[in-house]
């Protein structure tokens, strides 16, 4: 159960920072792009996150309580007093996620164009 939560944290962290990490190691794009696309697709489709579902099943089997607001709500937003379902929090989440990735991929494209024009 804890290993799934750690994996979940790593996936979220990688989804947020992978494009920026790819500035240092461009081959990370091959891993980051599909991970980010999958996370975005699950969220935009309103589907339950497979990692959250797995963690919930493991918590239930262990007799532990559920996660209030899914993984992000339980581990990130609730501890600081925010409701993960609040519209402002949703807008903030997508702004941070899309913004970091737009900056990272924009810089990667600019770097590639500069290299091709030499």
DSSP string, the chain: -HHHHHHHHHHHHHHHHHHHHTTT-GGGHHHHHHHHHHHHHHHHHTPPPHHHHHHHHHHHHTT----TTHHHIIIIIGGGT--TTSHHHHHHHHHHHHHHHHHHHHHHHHHHHHHHT-
Structural domain of residue 39, as residue ranges?
2-116
Q: What is the pLDDT of residue 22?
A: 95
- Given a cut of 80, whether residue 89 has pLDDT beyond it is yes
- Given a cut of 90, whether residue 3 has pLDDT beyond it is yes
As to burial, measured by CB atoms within 10 angstroms (0-12 exposed, 13-18 middle, 19+ buried), residue 8 is buried
Q: For residues 33 and 36, give the distance between their C-alpha atoms in angstroms, rounded to a whole number.
A: 5
- Given a cut of 90, whether residue 51 has pLDDT beyond it is yes
* Span of 48-52, 66-70, 81-85 with lowest mean pLDDT: 66-70
Instruction: Kindly state the average pLDDT of the residues 26-55.
Output: 92
Q: What is the pLDDT of residue 64?
A: 86
Q: For residues 98 and 12, give the distance between their C-alpha atoms in angstroms, rounded to a whole number.
A: 13
- Tally of domains in the chain: 1
Q: What is the pLDDT of residue 40?
A: 87
- Given a cut of 90, whether residue 1 has pLDDT beyond it is no
Q: What global pTM score does this model have?
A: 0.86
Q: Which residue shows structure tokens 């807008």?
A: 91
- Given a cut of 90, whether residue 44 has pLDDT beyond it is no
């Amino acid at each position: 159960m804890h290993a799934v939560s750690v994996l979940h944290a790593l996936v979220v962290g990688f989804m947020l920072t992978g494009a920026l990490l790819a500035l240092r190691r461009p081959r990370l794009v091959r891993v980051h792009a599909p991970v980010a696309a999958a996370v975005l697709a699950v969220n935009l489709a309103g589907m339950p996150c497979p990692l959250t579902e797995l963690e919930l099943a493991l918590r239930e089997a262990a007799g532990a309580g559920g996660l209030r607001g899914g993984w992000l709500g339980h581990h990130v937003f609730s501890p600081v007093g925010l409701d993960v379902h609040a519209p402002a929090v949703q807008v903030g989440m997508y702004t941070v996620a899309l913004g970091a990735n737009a900056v990272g991929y924009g810089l990667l494209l600019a770097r590639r164009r500069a290299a091709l024009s030499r």
